[in-house]
Amino acid sequence: MELRLYDTLTKDKRVFTPIDPSDVRMYVCGPTVYDFAHIGNARPVIVFDVLFRLLRHLYGADHVTYVRNITDVDDKINDRAARDFPGLPLNEAIRKVTEATASQFQADVTALGCLSPTHQPRATEFVLPRPDGRADMVTLIKQLIARGHAYEAGGEVLFDVQSMPDYGVLSGRRLEEQKAGARIAVDAHKKNPADFVLWKLSSENEPGWDSPWGRGRPGWHIECSAMSAAYLGDVFDIHGGGLDLIFPHHENEIAQSRCAHGTHAMANYWMHNGFLQVEGEKMSKSLGNFFTINELLTTEKFGGRKWSGEALRLAMLKTHYRSPIDWTVQGLQDAEKMLDRWYDVVGDAPASEVSADVLDALGDDMNMPKVIAELHRQSPESLKASANLLGLLTQTGAQWRANQTQDRSVDEGAVEALIRARTEARARKDFKESDRIRDELAAMGVVLKDGKGADGKPVTTWEIAR
Ligand code: AMP
Ligand code: ZN
């Protein structure tokens, strides 16, 4: 089977040829650990987990190295630490925030069926030169200065974008011409407004490391250049993330890594997942449609009920990874029904070989809609093997059904209250309202049965949909 991947840099789908088939190397930008991960953050984690699994299948589980970093130095983290632990010294408060958030993230993505990457480096461990000699940020910045790609100004070390003739090649953004007098005051120390921070000085109550440029902290982009080089070398196979990272983050990673190492590429394939929105709108806290992975798994905030990790995973994978995805209650219900059906088909069958048709569809730039169509055509044994490759149908049917009954449990008081309101609406012949309430209950997974009691009056009973 042939694997072809879409490369954002060259804008084409190409046959994937690893630099070294005995060590296929992939880097994906991970979370900034200051708060619970939201369901949009889950998308790159799930998408690249499927690619990781596919690469392991093709090249052997011991021949793939997958690195996903943890960003544990960031001004958002400092703010959160000061807010949540005002009594503690900042360093301690930061450690509390990042440790709790990182372990929550790990628990969330494990519940979504994702394997742990081979390495999950934390940025703070790669700021200064390391005893083990792996790449670090300070050494990279020194190299950039030595090669004439970076300069110190105004308490910062900046990358000099004009020192790189093809800066902007990933995002297709050309360097803006410098217009005299057009610079805003805050940028006055920059040679070019597009120059970006590699290092900035820290005030006394900000986290900092002693460096040749004073006590300070790294810019965001340099973290990934250091941690990818630390585990994957100067040039590696695949670099991934959400498409919001193309500019400036990945553009600047490329600039730093290529200029520091004197290479023509940082990674040979640049892959980006599309964005997730919720019920047709951009997800945002102010719109009240912001959901964390944890809320979907453990609370009744979305659609009035909890959802299983497996249903969330399939709902995410039904859409092609490069397309935008609309996250809806309906989409989750559809995914759940599909899993119900597949668990019924598989029964107690053992897994056989992964279907060649499923592999072909996956190999075509992970064409998941096609993969799902192929899954519907498989025998029980092949369905189990093929779905397992995607991290799906990993439970027994009995486990799935037992967990589903729990997940579908709803707030009984709320259901009873809605049913009373519906009975009243029906009594006053407001059928529009009674239908609306029935639909609302259906969205919560509750099915109604209307009958008559012994006294001849209408009685409505309910059950959780299967
Ligand atoms: P952040 O913590 O914002 O840096 O995001 C971590 C990862 O999640 C990055 O790969 C982002 O591209 C991705 N991401 C953030 N929001 C969304 C979204 N709404 N849809 C898809 N991916 C997202
Ligand atoms: Zn990154």
User: Each residue of 349-367: pLDDT tens digit?
Assistant: 999 999 999 999 999 999 9
Structure-block tokens of residue 287: 């719109």
pLDDT of residue 434: 92
DSSP for 66-81 reads: EEE-BB---HHHHHHH
| Sheet-wide strand order for 236-242 | 64-68, 24-28, 236-242, 267-273
- Any idea what DSSP says for residue 328? -
- Give yes or no for residue 55 CB within 6 A of ligand 1: no
Which ligand sits nearest to residue 254's alpha carbon? 2
State which of 32, 34, 41, 67 you would mutate to test the pocket of ligand 1, scoring each by most atoms of that ligand within 8 A of its C-beta.
41
- Taking the alpha carbons at both ends of the chain, their separation in whole angstroms is 38
Residue nearest to atom 15 of ligand 1 (CA): 41
Ligand 1 atom having least distance to the Cα of 41? 8
- Predicted TM-score (pTM) of the model is 0.89
Give the best-scoring range by mean pLDDT among 392-396, 404-408, 416-420: 392-396
Average pLDDT over residues 390-395: 98
Before 207, cis peptide (omega within 30)? no
- Give yes or no for residue 304 CB within 6 A of ligand 1: no
Residue nearest to atom 21 of ligand 1 (CA): 275
Report the C-alpha gap between 449 and 386 in whole angstroms: 38
Between CA 416 and CA 424, with CA 419 as vertex, the angle to 5 degrees is: 130
Identify the CA nearest to 202 among candidates 213, 194, 192, 191.
213
- Give yes or no for residue 71 CB within 6 A of ligand 1: no
Report the C-alpha gap between 251 and 454 in whole angstroms: 73
Tell me: pLDDT of 333 over 60: yes
Identify the CA nearest to 192 among candidates 219, 159, 234, 223.
159
Report the C-alpha gap between 131 and 416 in whole angstroms: 64
Residue nearest to atom 7 of ligand 1 (CA): 41
> What are the backbone dihedrals phi and psi of residue 452, each rounded to the nearest 5 degrees, phi first?
-120, 140
Average pLDDT over residues 330-347: 97
Distance 179 CA to ligand 1 centre (A): 33
Tell me: pLDDT of 466 over 70: no
- Any idea what DSSP says for residue 86? T
**Domains recognised in the chain with CATH numbers:** 4-273 (3.40.50.620), 276-407 (1.10.730), 412-464 (no CATH)
Distance 67 CA to ligand 2 centre (A): 11
Which residue, chain included where needed, has tokens 């040829």? 17
Average pLDDT over residues 373-402: 97
Identify the CA nearest to 36 among candidates 128, 131, 81, 100.
100
The chain-wide mean pLDDT, for the chain, equals: 94
Average pLDDT over residues 166-171: 96
Identify the CA nearest to 343 among candidates 285, 306, 388, 288.
388
Distances (CA, A) of 385 to 113, 239, 394: 15, 28, 9
The tens digit of pLDDT for each residue in 182-193 reads 555 557 899 999
The tens digit of pLDDT for each residue in 83-134 reads 999 999 999 999 999 999 999 999 999 999 999 999 999 999 999 999 999 9
Tell me: pLDDT of 408 over 80: no
Ligand 1 atom having least distance to the Cα of 240? 10
State which of 244, 293, 319 you would mutate to test the pocket of ligand 1, scoring each by most atoms of that ligand within 8 A of its C-beta.
244
Distance 37 CA to ligand 1 centre (A): 9
Helices 309-317 & 39-59 angle (0-180, nearest 10):
80
Average pLDDT over residues 55-67: 98
- How deeply is 305 buried, as exposed, middle or buried, from its count of CB atoms within 10 A (0-12, 13-18, 19+)? buried
Report the C-alpha gap between 14 and 18 in whole angstroms: 12
Q: Which residues, 6+ apart, have CB-to-CB distance to 61 below 8 Å?
A: none
Report the C-alpha gap between 27 and 268 in whole angstroms: 11
Ligand 1 atom having least distance to the Cα of 32? 2
Tell me: pLDDT of 172 over 80: yes
pLDDT of residue 180: 46
- Give yes or no for residue 40 CB within 6 A of ligand 1: yes
Which ligand sits nearest to residue 121's alpha carbon? 2
For residue 240, what are the β-bridge partners? 28, 271
The tens digit of pLDDT for each residue in 231-286 reads 999 999 999 999 999 999 999 999 999 999 999 999 999 999 999 999 999 999 88
Distance 30 CA to ligand 1 centre (A): 9
Distance 364 CA to ligand 2 centre (A): 25
Between CA 207 and CA 218, with CA 213 as vertex, the angle to 5 degrees is: 45
